[in-house]
Amino acid sequence: MATFQELLETIKKESTITIWGHAIPDGDCYGSQIGLREILRANFPNKKVYAIGSGIPALFSRLSPMDSVDEETIASSLAILVDVSCLRRVEDKRVFLAKKFAKFDHHDPNKRGEDFPYPDFCVDPRKIACAELIENFAFFNHLKLTKLAAEALYTGIFTDSGCFRFYGTNQGTFQAVRRLAKEGIDPLSIRAILERESENVKRFKAFLRSKVQKTKDVTYVIIGPKDYLSFGLSFEEAGSFVNAIESVESPNIYCLFVEDGKGEYRGELRSNKGYPVQPTATHFHGGGQIFASGTSTYSEEECRKVVEELTRVKKLPL
């Protein structure tokens, strides 16, 4: 693993840099991409730096849209992955065209096919968000932050920490936010955009809460296409609402399993009470962070096996 200084030296050597995130980007993925892009543009104005992917369109007018880049540019670039463990999980598969690779991430590497066989990477699972890691990188290397960079990184930290509620939010998280606040960020306007919800989404969340099942101290919901399509939601959208069931029954661990219409279930596992879900996720074709991970299963019965394994998870000591 590279140090912050070594990663900076790698970046300094390249004239073109592309920044990539995972499929179905969330606030941390998008915020990390835009934040790192703006840091590098501000400190190295002669470099060409691009953030590639679908981002979060609702934030484009408030923060920034993503960039359109041709394959020739990608082929000449250093590709930096953020908030994603390996190349195969990157949203835009053109990433494989890049000449060199680096990575910032806060996910524990999944040992099943998620190797990153390149020396220029920094992974710290102790960080609540990849955006926090990137802020630390900038702070350590005395890099200038613009207001846009700071607001993008704040967005990443705010969303991945669940509004600073999730287990793993700590003193370092607030120290990073304190430094970002010095750049004049406007958290309220960002939060207002992030919290906008359609009536369909509100009704879908209520539906999920009504479907909660419980096994010991694990709560879970299993739904199929008819459930989410009736609310006008896609498979990808439906799977993002796991936190809607967080407060039901006050569980140690809560899970949402969504079937894609072809027999595969996307599982989202969460714990806000210190119970590590990542080892179980790895066992069921997935991975992620210690307290927030995903699975891929192929039957409702297998989803229940995930739940059964989670009932045996022990709380980590503080």
d(Cα 309, Cα 55) in Å, to the nearest integer?
Answer: 34
Confidence of residue 317 (pLDDT cuts 50, 70, 90): confident
Question: Does residue 262 register a pLDDT over 70?
Answer: yes
pLDDT bin (cut points 50, 70, 90) of residue 289 is confident
pLDDT for the residue 6: 98
Confirm if 86 and 20 have CB atoms less than 8 A apart: no
CB 53 within 8 A of CB 66: yes
At residue 24, the pLDDT reads 87
Domains (ranges, CATH) in the chain? 4-194 (3.90.1640.10), 199-310 (3.10.310.30)
Q: Please give the pLDDT value at position 288.
A: 83
Q: How many residues does the chain have?
A: 318
pLDDT 10s digits, 159-171 = 999 999 998 999 9
Mean pLDDT of the chain: 96
Res 18 pLDDT > 90: yes
pLDDT tens per residue across span 111-120: 566 788 899 9
Distance between CA atoms of residues 167 and 149, nearest Å? 25
Q: Does residue 259 surpass a pLDDT of 80?
A: yes
Q: pLDDT tens digits for 119-130? A: 999 999 999 999
pLDDT at 112: 61
pLDDT in tens, 180-225: 999 999 999 999 999 999 999 999 999 999 999 999 999 999 999 9
- Picking from 113, 155, 106, 158, the residue whose alpha carbon sits closest to that of residue 292 is 106
pLDDT, position 113: 63
Would the pLDDT of 175 be above 90?
yes
In angstroms, the CA 112 to CA 115 distance is 8
Q: What is the pLDDT of residue 107?
A: 87
pLDDT at 181: 98
